[in-house]
């Protein structure tokens, strides 16, 4: 069983929900023409990243607003995962990923670890999520994480234990070069993480990172699809908008798990017991 998926690596307009939605729709329609069954966008793709106090102005309660009506219509043809600012029922503001399928909101993931160190200040403007869940879709059971979440090994692990065979990561990762080297350290380090998670958990890892400039910050792109053997099977351009395609092949997942049983033999009850001991 195979499923074609798309990753849209885009720039976006800070604080302009309408224009960003229009761009999303254009990419979604392209993906539909290519017969993709899922399209993944970057972190905060609907709003831009460096929002600061604009976060309240662009926040949406997706269950009370009609702003995503067109996404819901298009999701009857393709699963859509996009990043935006969510207003919760308690009026908390979250950096969230919205998943649309079959004309409805299928799932929402709130970023668990909004970073506030170095150049980052997300916890000043966003509340953190408090749950991580895998969920069923037409292409199988998947899980969603946002940027810094992928730097916490527990979250991909929990999603895989919860049955996810595809982990979709949305990111807005700023460009940083190491010393005098021309090597794009961001991509090297992030891709090493993705390949490690994919191989150890025997899953597909999808990564969509944005591009463009915003408030003096540049975003590097390098979106990719990694298979369960830890191989990069599709890679987007650096620093440019791009739309890439790949396949989720369930035979590849099966082969990876049967060839090397490390994930099948994983014992979460042992992990739970030892964590309880450590946390006493």
- pLDDT value, residue 178: 58
Asked if 41 and 8 count as a contact pair (C-beta separation under 8 A), the reply is yes
- As a whole number of angstroms, the distance between CA 22 and CA 20 comes to 5
* Helices (H), ranges, 98-169: 154-161
Tell me the residue range of the domain where 55 lies: 2-278
Label the pairing between strands 204-209 and 166-171: parallel
Asked if 82 and 24 count as a contact pair (C-beta separation under 8 A), the reply is yes
- As a whole number of angstroms, the distance between CA 252 and CA 105 comes to 29
Q: What is the pTM of this model?
A: 0.97
- As a whole number of angstroms, the distance between CA 252 and CA 262 comes to 15
Asked if 86 and 61 count as a contact pair (C-beta separation under 8 A), the reply is yes
Kindly state the tokens that stand for 216. Answer: 């003096």
- As a whole number of angstroms, the distance between CA 265 and CA 73 comes to 41
- Composition of the chain by helix, strand, coil, percent to 5: 30, 30, 40
- pLDDT value, residue 184: 87
The 3 state secondary structure assigned to 68-86 is CHHHHHHCCCCEEEEEEEE
Angle at 238 between CA 183 and CA 19, to 5 degrees: 145
- pLDDT value, residue 119: 86
- As a whole number of angstroms, the distance between CA 224 and CA 9 comes to 10
pLDDT of the chain, 280 residues: tens digit per residue: 999 999 999 999 999 999 999 999 999 999 999 999 999 999 999 999 999 999 999 999 999 999 999 999 999 999 999 999 999 999 999 999 999 999 999 999 999 999 999 889 999 999 999 999 999 999 999 999 999 999 999 999 999 999 999 999 999 999 876 555 556 899 999 999 999 999 999 999 999 999 999 988 999 999 999 999 999 999 999 999 999 999 999 999 999 999 999 999 999 999 999 999 999 9
- pLDDT value, residue 92: 97
- pLDDT value, residue 211: 98
The CATH number for 64's domain is 3.60.110.10
- Domain count of the fold of the chain: 1
The number of angstroms, rounded, from the C-alpha of 124 to the middle of its chain's C-alpha atoms is 22
Q: Is 261 exposed, middle or buried (0-12, 13-18, 19+ CB in 10 A)?
A: exposed
- pLDDT value, residue 183: 67
In degrees and rounded to multiples of 5, residue 145 shows phi and psi of: -135, 155
- pLDDT value, residue 177: 61
For 8, what's the count of Cα atoms within 13 Å in the CB-facing half-sphere?
30
- Residue 152's region, left for phi above 0, alpha for psi from -120 to 50, else beta, is beta
């Amino acid at each position: 069983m195979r499923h074609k998926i798309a990753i849209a690596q885009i720039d976006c307009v800070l604080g302009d929900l309408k224009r960003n939605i229009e761009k999303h729709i254009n990419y979604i329609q392209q993906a539909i023409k290519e017969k993709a069954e899922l399209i993944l966008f970057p972190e905060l793709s609907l709003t831009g990243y460096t929002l600061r106090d604009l976060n309240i102005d662009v926040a949406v309660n997706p269950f009370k607003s009609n702003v995503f009506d067109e996404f819901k219509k298009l999701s009857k043809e393709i699963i859509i995962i996009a990043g935006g600012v969510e207003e919760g029922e308690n009026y908390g503001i979250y950096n969230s990923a919205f998943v649309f399928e079959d004309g409805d909101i299928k799932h929402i993931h709130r970023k668990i670890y909004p970073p506030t160190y170095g150049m980052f200040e997300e916890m000043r403007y966003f509340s953190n999520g408090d749950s991580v869940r895998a969920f069923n879709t037409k292409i199988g059971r998947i899980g969603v994480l946002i940027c810094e979440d992928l730097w916490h090994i527990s979250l991909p692990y929990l999603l895989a234990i919860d049955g996810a065979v595809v982990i979709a990561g949305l990111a807005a990762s700023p460009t940083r070069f190491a010393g005098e080297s021309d090597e794009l350290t961001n991509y090297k380090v992030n891709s090493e993480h993705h390949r490690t998670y994919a191989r150890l958990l025997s899953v597909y890892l999808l990564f969509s990172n944005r591009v463009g400039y915003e408030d003096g910050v540049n975003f590097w792109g390098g979106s990719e699809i990694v298979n369960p053997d830890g191989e990069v099977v599709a890679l987007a351009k650096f620093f440019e908008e791009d739309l890439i395609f790949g396949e989720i092949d369930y035979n590849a997942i099966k082969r990876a798990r049967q060839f090397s049983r490390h994930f099948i033999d994983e014992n979460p009850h042992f992990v739970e017991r030892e964590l309880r001991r450590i946390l006493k």
